Structure formats: C-alpha cells, structure tokens
C-alpha cells in the first residue's frame, strides 16, 4: 500500500504535468490525493519543495530506465538503438513524466541538487556522443548538439502523437530511430570510383 507521501507525490506529478507549477494549487493537490487540505504540508514545507521532490523522483526513474543494465560493451550503433527505444518505452509507460519534465526543466524554483541531477542525467549520453565523435562514428558536431538532434526527433513525434496529429506504430518508431541515427552518424565518403 502506498504511503501518504507517495500518494501526494503521485497526485502532484499528475497535477504539475497538467497545469504546470504556477497553475497548480496545494488545496487542489490535497483533493486529488484524497487527503485533508493541510496534509501535504506535513510532508512538504512548500509547493517548491514538493515540485523538487517530484522532479527528483522523475529524473531518477528515467535514468534508471535508460541506463540500468545498459549494454556498454555493444557497438555504438546498437547502443544508440537501445537508448532510443528505451526512451520510447519509458515515456509510453509514463507519459505524465514526459509532460512534467518538459514543463519543469531549468525553472527557477528547482533547487541546486535538481539542477545538478539534470547535468548528471545527461552525462552518459554526452559521453557516448563524445566518444563516437572522436572515433569518427558520428558527425564532427558538439555532443550536446547531437543529443539535442536525437531528442528533437523523439520529442517531436511524441508530442504529435500526444496531440492527436499522428498515430505512431512500432514500425514508425523503428523508422524514426533509423532517421535519428542517420542524422547524427558520420556520412560515408563518396566513392571517387564511378566505374
């Protein structure tokens, strides 16, 4: 059985994902959690402390899903494929986490620990792209740009589906993963032999 604190965190995730930080009120949160209006304040001193707790939980859950038991000994191409499909799988299971994180990245109410957690969460992907760039597997583009390109492909499709503009299938996600890889991989040199 979930603790009262966990129940409040779950309700807060849904409310913050829908309304954002400023659009969510603590009385509404208490109602969603099915607790008395003062109960959230017994667990969290303020709405800022609560949103930081939700952010920390979401980031850790995402990082574990993406990098737990990751096949670091696989080829770069296979690692990329695993990473991309783990992103797809995680957010299909937890769409409210995507909505929440998209609304709350780099906001002034995030505490220093969460800002550091954000940097930590990007590090494995950035290390991958830095290594792949140096090995001349990916384009000679800064690793942050490569990661942004891949995220843009995923999040663009995901948002289009969430808004009802597009119905994604496993085949479409596979095609999208191939497009994302093509966008960041180093092009093969054109053959000068035209024979």
pLDDT in tens, 8-37: 999 999 999 999 999 999 999 999 999 999
- pLDDT value at 100 more than 50: yes
**What is the Cα–Cα distance from 180 to 149, expressed in whole angstroms?**
8
pLDDT score recorded for residue 1: 62
173-182: Cβ within 8 A, 24+ apart: 173/85, 173/88, 177/80, 177/81, 177/84, 177/85, 179/153, 180/80, 180/84, 180/149, 180/150, 180/153, 180/154, 181/77, 181/80, 181/81, 181/84
Residue 193 predicted with pLDDT over 80: no
Q: What is the pLDDT, as a whole number, of residue 191?
A: 46
% of residues, the chain, pLDDT over 90: 91
Q: Is the pLDDT of residue 151 over 80?
A: yes
Whether residue 194 is predicted with pLDDT greater than 50 in this model: the reply is no
Q: How confident is the model at residue 189 (pLDDT cuts 50, 70, 90)?
A: confident
Predicted confidence (pLDDT) at residue 192 exceeds the cutoff of 70: no
CA distance 184 to 187: 9
Looking at every residue in the chain, the average pLDDT score rounds to: 93
Name, in order, each residue with C-beta under 8 angstroms of 41's C-beta and a sequence gap of 6 or more: 26
Average pLDDT of the residues in 186-190: 82
Q: Strands, E, within 4-158: which ranges?
A: none
Q: What is the pTM of this model?
A: 0.89
């Amino acid at each position: 059985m979930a603790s009262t604190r966990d129940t409040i965190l779950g309700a807060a995730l849904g409310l913050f994902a829908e309304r954002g930080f400023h659009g969510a009120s603590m009385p509404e949160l208490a109602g969603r959690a099915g607790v008395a209006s003062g109960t959230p304040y017994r667990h969290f001193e303020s709405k800022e402390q609560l949103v930081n707790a939700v952010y920390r939980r979401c980031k850790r859950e995402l990082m574990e899903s993406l990098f737990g038991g990751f096949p670091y000994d696989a080829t770069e191409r296979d690692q990329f494929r695993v990473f991309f499909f783990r992103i797809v799988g995680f957010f299909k299971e937890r769409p409210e986490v995507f909505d929440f994180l998209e609304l709350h990245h780099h906001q002034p109410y995030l505490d220093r620990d969460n800002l550091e957690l954000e940097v930590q969460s990007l590090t494995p992907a950035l290390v991958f792209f830095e290594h792949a760039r140096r090995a001349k597997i990916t384009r000679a583009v800064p690793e942050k740009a490569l990661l942004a390109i891949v995220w843009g492909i995923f999040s663009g499709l995901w948002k289009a589906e969430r808004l009802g503009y597009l119905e994604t299938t496993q085949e479409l996600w596979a095609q999208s993963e191939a497009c994302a890889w093509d966008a960041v991989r180093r092009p093969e040199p054109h053959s000068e032999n035209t024979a």
